[in-house]
Amino acid sequence: MRKLGLPSVMLAVLRREFSVALRQKGEVLTPLVFFVVIASLFPLGVGPESALLLRMAPGVLWVSALLAAMLSLQRLFATDYADGSLEQMALSSTPMGLLVVSKALSHFLLSGLPLVLMAPVLGLQFGLESRALGILMLTLLLGTPTLSLIGSIGAALTLGVRGAGVLLSLLILPLYIPVLIFGAGAVEADAAGLGFSGHLSLLAALLVLSAFFAPLATTTALRISLE
């Protein structure tokens, strides 16, 4: 039997995840609908005061995106754990870290990327200008993969645990705070004329650190959960 290369393994995992997503469209659309609803309620509740909406916009949109991304984390490994696929992955010759990266990438593509694409539309409700919308998209594009990678650690640690959803939130929310601060802060800093490049650099650094450390931590947590 021919051994698959690393790109082929990643592609196979992504195809499987997208195939499962097509059969479970409701679970895939739930985070996006949640993001739209939460972000849309704030302008209705606050009122038409433009100055207040502009000041609130970065934080509201980033918090909404963060919470929406968390909704689908619990099922990141749960399905594979329930049907025994996760054990087969752990026993295969493919590095477990590569499988973890593939799962995190699929989570970003299915849950994070739609949030990035929807954010400018929701930002118009707050009166954000085109420059601010572009910065918002850029911060989300750097931040949401980090959320997926960090979230994979929590999903692995709570695998098979009763009340995993609540425990998962308690574990990863403190780790999400730096991403939230620098993501929302970039838009606010640009609006204040302070420049946003520093915030983007920190978001990129968090992404690189997460891409290096998160697969190792997640792999260890998965092996513990499978014992």
Domain boundaries, the chain: 6-226
What letter would DSSP give residue 47? Answer: -
13, pLDDT greater than 80: no
Q: Is the pLDDT of residue 47 over 60?
A: yes
pLDDT category, 163, cuts 50, 70, 90? low
Other beta carbons less than 10 A from residue 3's beta carbon:
8
Highest mean pLDDT among 31-40, 99-108, 136-145: 136-145
Mean pLDDT of the chain: 84
pLDDT the model gives residue 2: 45
Question: Which residue, among 116, 107, 172, has the nearest Cα to 139 in the 3D structure?
Answer: 116
Mean pLDDT of 141-156: 91
Contacts of 4 (CB under 8 A, 6+ apart): 12, 94
In our burial notation (b when 16+ CB lie closer than 10 A, e otherwise), range 56-73 reads ebbbbbbbbbbbbbbbbb
Q: What is the mean pLDDT of residues 87-106?
A: 81
Q: Say whether pLDDT at 216 is over 70.
A: yes
Spatial separation of the C-alpha atoms in residues 95 and 9, rounded to whole Å: 10
Share of the chain above pLDDT 90, in %: 29
Split at pLDDT 50, 70, 90, the class of 89 is: confident
Q: Identify the pLDDT of residue 150.
A: 93
Give pTM, 2 decimals: 0.87
pLDDT at residue 4, as a whole number? 53
Contacts of 10 (CB under 8 A, 6+ apart): 98, 101, 102, 105
Q: What is the pLDDT of residues 118-129, one digit of tens each?
A: 999 988 888 888
Residue 82 has pLDDT above 60, yes or no: yes
Residue 136: C-alpha distances to residues 124, 193, 210 (Å)? 12, 15, 21
Of 65, 64, 42, 39, the closest CA to residue 52 belongs to 42
